[in-house]
Amino acid sequence: MNSIGFGIIGCGMISQLHADALKEVEGAELRGIYDPVPGRAEDFAQKKGGTPYHDINVLLSDPAIEAVCICTPSGTHAELAVQVACAGKHVVVEKPMAITLGQLKQVENACNENHVKFCCISQLRFTRDYRLIREAVAEGKLGKLVCGDVYMKYYREPSYYAGSSWRGTLAMDGGGALMNQGIHGVDLLQSIMGPVKSVFARSRTLLHNIEAEDTLSAVLEYENGALGVIQATTSVCPGYSRKLEINGTQGSITLTEDRITSWDLADAPEHLAHPVESGIRTAGDPSALDAACHAAQLSDMVQAIRTDRSPLVDQKEGKKAVEIILAIYRSAQTGKPVELNDL
């Protein structure tokens, strides 16, 4: 069977991981690269393969490219996703799917109208331990859900923001610690706990010289009646692994980055008898990522294209975390609780 040809738009930090991940995906091949900064696509192609393009429209009209990974600053995701979809190519967009409600709608409409597949990267949904938690909750093993919390106390050096034209800006990052780093935890949380009914939040910029928040605390009320807490910061030294805690009337589970670190339920999965510490070190280093989870998500995308089904994190799923974050930001701005239905 012929491989599906991929293009990559944006040749910065995360694009390297997409290129490495594509090498691991059966039935996928990196064919084209584009970045507006002169020389960047050429350098990237030399290291990672694929053909460098100087003009995005030429890449998008190449019939050998069937799907495109958008690896650009978050504020450009929606416009580029629409452009890619309108060119008839399948869309892979890095998180967040978009940074405003209007943009989410534009992306959804463009993909639906052009009949292309869409997936938004949320690579932590593709780990074994996340799946075990989701299954245990879905099977009712925790009893009635009581709390669903995420604690993300990360550290970013001031140079992380100072050295970037877009990080920490409202127009291009769409927010700070929550929209950029915290979104992973928000997405896992909502996919396990179910829809969020309302939020109340406070946010601050306590360390970094940025427009957006570097520290935020929110209280959540889920539609199923459970309550939750989200803490997201990039300002605490030295930075700690992200923890997700799911508690019910009959049991509790903690996920630390991508590993279950407590399973207080009957019937523990066999591998938990000899737990292995998470290899994810993004609490203090944004580039300390492993391509395996991206490869698993891109593999899901390839299967979705081949078998004409929806990818696991499609447009309907991808927008949920952004909607919750936008509700939290509105609450932090107004000082009032926000109902998700009122967005």
Binding site for ligand NAD (CB under 6 A): 9-15, 35-37, 40, 71-74, 76, 94-95, 121, 123, 164, 180, 289
Minimal distance, residue 320 CB to ligand NAD, in Å: 16
Q: Name which of 85, 214, 219, 87 is nearest 157 in CA terms.
A: 214
Instruction: Quote the strand ranges of the chain, DSSP E.
Output: 4-9, 28-34, 51-53, 67-70, 90-93, 118-120, 145-153, 196-204, 215-222, 227-233, 243-248, 251-256, 259-264, 338-339
Please provide residue 145's backbone torsions phi and psi, each rounded to the nearest 5 degrees. -70, 135
Nearest approach in angstroms of CB 141 to ligand NAD is 29
DSSP string, 176-201: SHIIIIIHHHHHHHHHHH--EEEEEE
4 vs 26: CA distance, rounded Å? 9
Contact 254, 133 (CB under 8 A): no
Name the residue among 212, 205, 214, 208 with its Cα closest to residue 177: 214
Q: How far is the CB of 12 from ligand NAD (least distance, A)?
A: 2
Instruction: Compare residues 9 and 321 and give the one whose CB is closer to ligand NAD.
Output: 9
Tokens of residue 235, six digits: 């300002």
Q: What is the closest distance, in whole angstroms, from the C-beta atom of residue 55 to ligand NAD in the complex?
A: 11
CB of 77 to ligand NAD, least distance (A): 6
What whole-number distance in Å separates Cα of residue 58 and Cα of residue 220?
A: 46
The residue among 153, 168, 156 whose CA lies nearest residue 232 is 153
* DSSP labels, 208-228: S--SS-SEEEEEEEETTS-EE
Cβ-based nearer residue to ligand NAD, 9 or 87: 9
Minimal distance in Å, beta carbon 22 to ligand NAD?
15
CB nearer ligand NAD, residue 13 or residue 138? 13
CB nearer to ligand NAD: give 136 or 298: 298
Task: Give the nearest distance from C-beta 90 to ligand NAD in angstroms.
Answer: 18
For ligand NAD, the closer of residues 70 and 133 by Cβ is 70
Task: Return the number of the residue (53 or 222) whose C-beta is nearest ligand NAD.
Answer: 53
Least Å from the CB of residue 72 to ligand NAD: 4
- Please identify, using beta-carbon distances, which residue of 23 and 115 lies nearer to ligand NAD: 23
Partnered with residue 202 across adjacent β-strands are: 217
Rank residues 40 and 134 by Cβ distance to ligand NAD and give the closer one.
40
CA distance 203 to 332: 6
Tell me which residue has its CB nearest to ligand NAD. Answer: 12
**Shortest distance in whole angstroms from residue 13 CB to ligand NAD:** 4
Q: Quick one: 37 or 171, whose CB is closer to ligand NAD?
A: 37
* Neighbour order of strands in the sheet with 51-53: 51-53, 28-34, 4-9, 67-70, 90-93, 118-120
DSSP for 215-263, please give it: EEEEEEEETTS-EEEEEEESBSSS----EEEEEETTEEEEEETTEEEEE
